[in-house]
Structure formats: C-alpha cells, structure tokens
Amino acid sequence: MRAARRQAVSVAVATGLYGISFGALAVAAGLSVWQAQLLSLVMFTGGSQFALIGVIGAGGLGSAAVASAALLGGRNLLYAVQLGPVLGLRGWRRLLGAHLTIDESTAVALAQPGREARRAGFWWAGGGVWVCWNLLTLAGALAGDAMGDPKDWGLDAAAAAAFLGLLWPRLAPRRAQATAALALVIALVASPWLAPGVPVLLSSLAALATGLWPDAAPAPVTGPASEPSGAGDGP
C-alpha cells in the first residue's frame, strides 16, 4: 500500500508539471485562462486536451477539434474494462472513478501486486494527477507566452517519461515486448497520414494481433508411460 501511494504521488507530480505546458499552449492557441482551466477540470485527459488545442491553434473547425479529442479519449474505455472488476464501484463513486480513469491512474493501479494496492494506486494517482494538473494548468495559463516554448523546458516529455517508467517492468514477457514493438510501428506509420488520435487507437490493434499468436507448446509430461522399456526407478 505504501509503495503504491509513493508511486502514485511521484507520477502525479510529474504529470502535473505537464499541465504547465498545456496551460501555456492553450492560451497561445487563443483560449482564455478560464477556458483552459475548464478543459482541465471537466475533460481531464491530457492527450485529448492537447489534440483539441492543437486543431484550434492550427485554425481548424471546432467540430474537427472535438472529433480529434474524442478519438484520442476513446482509449479510456479500454482502461475502464480492465479497472471495472478491480475497483467494483457503485453509484456516485462509479462516476468519480470514470472521471479519474486516465493513463496514469490505470498504469499505477495495474502495476500493483494485490487488489487493495491496486485500488489505492488508482485513487491516489487519479486524485493526485487531478489536483496537480489543474493547479499547474492555471499557473501555465497565467504565465502564457512569458514562458516561451514549453518544449524548451522539457515539460512535453514529463508525463510520457513517467508512464514509460511504469510500463517498463511489465515488458519482461516476450509477448508484451512484441505488442509494444508492433504498436510503436503502427503509430509511426499511421501518424503522417491520419488525424491526431487515430494512430493511437490503431496501435491498440497490436494487442489483438499478438493475442492471436499461439502460446509455446508445453513441455511433454514425463512418467512411467514415457520411460524407455526396461528402465528402472531412479535412486
């Protein structure tokens, strides 16, 4: 439990720093400080938020911005399928849990060894990210263009680095490594041709593809029937 909380807090802080980048970029794209803040409070899924302001900043239509954000946010539905049996939420808690189902809360939860630790990891990561993300979104929006390019600070990579750190230990099995490699190839090939968000969804097909691979044949079971004729018992 303690390890789950520590992990959740570290991820929340790293991801919160990413919120500075979002706030500054949202204002640069033409949103007001409070519009940027409302996105973080209500939408609260960083990839979709960046997709939305990216389209708006490029002069795209509002409908295109919403569609792009919705496509990228669709991955949270897959997370919910995994987390539902673990959390077992009902009533208003289920609504709150749905709002906090993001990359980081899912990764922290599923990285834990037991059910109680997974629940603790989910709530601490989800709640911690929500608080840090919104506070630092406000700070970034207020700072606005005074920060310059947020990429110069390396903040655009903070959340990705934290997520990769959680994912790395889970890549030990060969099937997991194959899934990650195939997903990366799909995303890289599709990114130049498809709208933001679509390559991420397509890369999820890697899990389906590798899941269809047959497992290695089990080792033959040795016993009296398989011993050579005349073989006696061992010492």
Centroid of chain to Cα 27? 25
Tell me if the pTM is above 0.75: no
What would you measure as the largest C-alpha separation in the chain, in angstroms?
A: 87
Query: How far is it, in rounded angstroms, from Cα 120 to Cα 124?
Result: 6
Q: In this structure, are residues 182 and 210 in contact, taking their beta carbons and an 8 Å threshold? A: yes
Domain ranges of the chain: 2-171, 172-214
Q: How confident is the model at residue 136 (pLDDT cuts 50, 70, 90)?
A: very high
pLDDT at 174 over 90: no
pLDDT at 125 over 70: yes
Q: In this structure, are residues 114 and 14 in contact, taking their beta carbons and an 8 Å threshold? A: no
CA torsion 123-129-134-136 (nearest 10°) is 150
Query: How far is it, in rounded angstroms, from Cα 206 to Cα 75?
Result: 14
pLDDT at 155 over 60: no
pLDDT digits 0-9 by tens, 85-121: 889 898 899 999 999 999 889 989 988 888 889 999 9
Q: In this structure, are residues 19 and 112 in contact, taking their beta carbons and an 8 Å threshold? A: no
Rg (CA), the chain: 22
Query: How far is it, in rounded angstroms, from Cα 56 to Cα 66?
Result: 10
Show the beta-strand stretches assigned E in the chain: none
Q: How many other CB atoms sit within 10 Å of the CB of residue 105?
A: 27
Q: Across residues 204-220, what is the average pLDDT?
A: 66
* pLDDT for res 146: 66
Query: How far is it, in rounded angstroms, from Cα 23 to Cα 46?
Result: 11
pLDDT at 195 over 80: no
